[in-house]
């Protein structure tokens, strides 16, 4: 019994960390740069399908099946998602706030319809199976298999966290925050906001693609239903709860909201009659919405929300001098 609980805990944390990677990508776009991306599901889907096509065994029913190593699939997913992000950003990055949100949402719907209907490439509604899983030889031992996958996810998340922290403190990261706070002032200082915003959008999309690949290989199967708009809602809720603009907050928010999602799913399966569970599944979205509202009332900036430089400056001016 104890081993089963440990295996489930490792499985839970592994899934939560895949969402943490998506949150880290969104934090680059929104938290650091202020880009309102509502097409998260599209970039995650592109990464997942790219890695699946590169690493699965040959199949006569669809294109792909190159049987490459998992690491190559993950790198390919990040590259392809990054290129798609650059292409989308080059066309839409000049749009502001709600207009950018509408454009990226349209991209997400387009990608979802493509993976649903391009059956020779994506498998259509049947999806793609037989995606190789790390430590597949350990599957008979649930605990060892789950702990092995958890170790990989911890390494990936830690590497991304350290890299993004370094970028945030670099001149590049400071320029992004300057553009987010006052684009006109940054432009007056000789910076090119469009160029930096496109770079941040591309980097964030590449990280989301990597997250999609890790999810695909962790589960072993992908289908178009995995990349519906609800995924975008989940990730935004995770970042808001954890704290926009803070990488630690992105990781913490992903774990907390995924935990709430898992608990609400367990409650539905335990207390709702079987014939009503399909409808009652919507209560999971309600639970996240209520939790999000409570968090905004309790801590409007989230658990680890970034304090604006202007707010920090005002607080310093308001502090009375000891002299």
Name residue 128's beta-bridge partners. 222
Q: How far is CA 235 from CA 22, 78, 96, in A?
A: 7, 18, 21
Please give the pLDDT value at position 96. Answer: 79
Is 142 inside a domain boundary?
yes
SS3 state of residue 124? helix
Residue 222 near residue 133 (C-beta atoms within 8 A): no
Is 301 inside a domain boundary?
no
Is 115 inside a domain boundary?
yes
Query: How many domains does the chain fold into?
Result: 1
Please give the pLDDT value at position 5. Answer: 84
Please give the pLDDT value at position 75. Answer: 97
Is 276 inside a domain boundary?
no
Residue range(s) defining the domain that contains residue 117:
1-227
Query: Block means of pLDDT (10 residues each) for the chain, length 323 residues?
Result: 82 96 97 94 97 93 90 97 96 88 95 94 93 89 92 97 96 93 88 94 98 96 94 95 94 95 86 80 85 88 76 58 50
Is 319 inside a domain boundary?
no
Chain centroid to Cα 102, Å, comes to 19
Is 317 inside a domain boundary?
no
Q: From CA 125, how far away is CA 221, in angstroms rounded?
A: 12
Is 20 inside a domain boundary?
yes
Please give the pLDDT value at position 284. Answer: 84
Q: From CA 55, how far away is CA 134, in angstroms rounded?
A: 12
Please give the pLDDT value at position 272. Answer: 84
Q: What is the pTM (predicted TM-score) of this model?
A: 0.93
Is 60 inside a domain boundary?
yes
Q: Which runs of consecutive H residues, i.e. helices, occur in the chain?
A: 2-26, 40-55, 70-92, 97-117, 119-122, 142-169, 171-181, 183-188, 193-219, 229-242, 247-271, 277-280, 282-298, 309-318
């Amino acid at each position: 019994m104890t081993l089963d609980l440990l295996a489930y805990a490792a499985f839970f944390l592994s899934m939560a960390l895949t969402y943490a990677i998506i949150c880290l990508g969104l934090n680059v776009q929104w938290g650091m740069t202020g880009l309102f991306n509502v097409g998260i599901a599209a970039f995650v889907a592109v990464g997942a399908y790219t890695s699946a096509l590169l690493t699965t065994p040959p199949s006569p029913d669809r294109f792909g099946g190159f049987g490459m190593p998992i690491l190559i699939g993950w790198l390919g997913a990040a590259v392809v998602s990054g290129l798609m992000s650059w292409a989308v950003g080059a066309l839409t990055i000049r749009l502001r706030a709600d207009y950018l949100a509408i454009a990226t949402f349209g991209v997400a719907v387009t990608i979802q319809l493509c993976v649903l209907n391009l059956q020779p490439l994506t498998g259509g509604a049947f999806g793609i199976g037989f995606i190789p899983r790390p430590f597949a030889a350990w599957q008979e031992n649930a605990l060892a298999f789950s702990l092995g996958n958890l170790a990989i996810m911890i390494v990936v998340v830690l590497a991304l966290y350290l890299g993004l922290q370094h970028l945030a403190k670099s001149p590049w990261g400071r320029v992004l925050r300057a553009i987010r706070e006052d684009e006109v002032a940054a432009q007056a200082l000789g910076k090119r906001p469009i160029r930096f915003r496109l770079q941040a959008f591309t980097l964030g999309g590449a990280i989301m693609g990597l997250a999609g690949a890790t999810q695909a290989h962790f589960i072993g199967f992908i289908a178009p239903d995995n990349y519906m708009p609800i995924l975008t809602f989940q990730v935004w809720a995770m970042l808001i709860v954890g704290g926009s603009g803070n990488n630690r907050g992105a990781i913490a928010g992903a774990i907390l909201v995924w935990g709430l999602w898992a608990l609400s799913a367990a409650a539905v399966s335990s207390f709702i009659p079987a014939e009503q569970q399909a409808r009652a599944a919507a209560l999971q979205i309600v639970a996240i919405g209520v939790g999000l509202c409570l968090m905004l009332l309790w801590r409007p900036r989230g658990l680890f929300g970034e304090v604006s430089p202007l707010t920090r400056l005002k607080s310093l001016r308001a502090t009375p001098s000891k002299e």
